[in-house]
Amino acid sequence: MQHRRSLGAALLVAASVLSVTCGPGTPGPGAADRPGVALLGNEGWIMGPTSIPDPTVGGYMDAVLDLFLQPASPWFPGQPTFPSYDFAGLVTPNQFCPLVCLPPPNPYLTFAQSIARGTEILQAAVVPQLENGDNVTVFGYSQSATVSTQLMIDLLANAPGGGGGVYDPDNLNFVLIGNPSNPLGGVLTRFPAYPVLSDQPITLPFLGIPLSIGPTPTSGFDTTIYTGEYDGLANFPQDPANLLAMVNALIGTATVHFSYIDFDNLADTIDLGRIGDTDFYLIPQQLPILWPIYQLGDVGKVIGDALTPMLKLVIDWGYGNPGDPFVGINGTDAVGPWAVTAGGQLADGSDVAGFGLRMDPLQMLAGLQYAVVHSFVDPVNDLLGFAGQSPLSDSFVDALLTGYHLTNVVDAHLLGAWNELAVSLNVTEWLGPDAVFNGEPLISLAPMLEMGAVVFEMLNFLGA
């Protein structure tokens, strides 16, 4: 991973220099910024995250193309790629005042104002191309992923023939990374606030963070969403009572969210599945809460590998995942920070935060049994590896997992009988095992968030 770390650091320095010389909307050196150049055919726009208004700075665009858009060969089977597209950089404000601002004479923009201006710029670039019949792919990272989300919502509200121009929505694709509006865990999705007293969008008072945009639409446009595991802005826990998951996510904001162009493990990407027209991919990461320990070399690895199984299990419970590899996502043994049904399928209703996530108790027990065994096996295998010895045999590990296997046998039998009964009574959609155990909260925070929205509206009206 070190070969990309220097790139990330260089981009931050370059962005700081750029902020002195280049305001939002200022053309960069790419074809995207030359008004007289008309893009034809398969075209694409690449935008940067907060603090990088001009994506042509440094090696940012090269890294994006190499990892997410035009790799020399796909990093993992089935990776969506766009080899025939001509991508150019699009300058957007990407400010977050009062925290990240461009100096005068550029206007100071809050996060909400920056997104609004960025959406105008993106729409002005994309819509004429679509109306010209071009295929267009938009890449957004962090703030620009939310800009892309706002554009999608605007275009869906002004469908072809409905006053928004004539174009084919099938010609428009989005690739989003580190998306705060991620429908499966974006922090803006977990804690929305929609207008009650007026039709004006609501922002978080004093910080100007937009709370009314809503999640990225999963239908309408072909979309690919990459999420770094435990990214505190794009992969936020659903249960705020799980304090371990909350702390881990906050640390992940620093260790994961700003590191996407540094990832060197895309080959390990997990395909979470498809909802509507959107493919969801998760890029595995170490637990952010253990990051300091893993910096201690071999000793840190042994300690970290001993702590990870149990910590990961409890943290993943905060996302609605029981942590049982026997029913991993889409028939695999992958478990992680995403909500699943009792059958191991991606839960598509995991959005607003709440309490009492509905998970299969026996699968939670199986996850606990599995974690206990690997809290012993993983560090022992580390020590054996350091000594040049073979790891513990599969048969020995399997023997340790006897209780785990038994729990899964019992659970599978009970779920099967339950499902048969639900089918016979024609109540599967409401009372089947996948409907009851779907990782969603038993108590949603939505009513409380609605009350908070009224308070925020009044504060916004007063200028906060």
- The residues carrying an active-site annotation are 142
User: Closest Cα partner for 230 from 300, 273, 182, 302?
Assistant: 182
Let me know: does 137 contact 130? Beta carbons within 8 Å: no
Beta bridge partners of 45: 88, 138
Asked if residue 437 lies in contact with residue 344, where contact means CB atoms within 8 angstroms, the answer is no
Q: How long is the chain?
A: 464
**Token reading at 23:** 């305001």
What is the enclosing helix (H) or strand (E) of 383?
Answer: helix 361-386
Question: Rounded CA gap, 203 and 205, in Å?
Answer: 6
Judge whether 416 and 360 are in contact, CB under 8 Å.
no
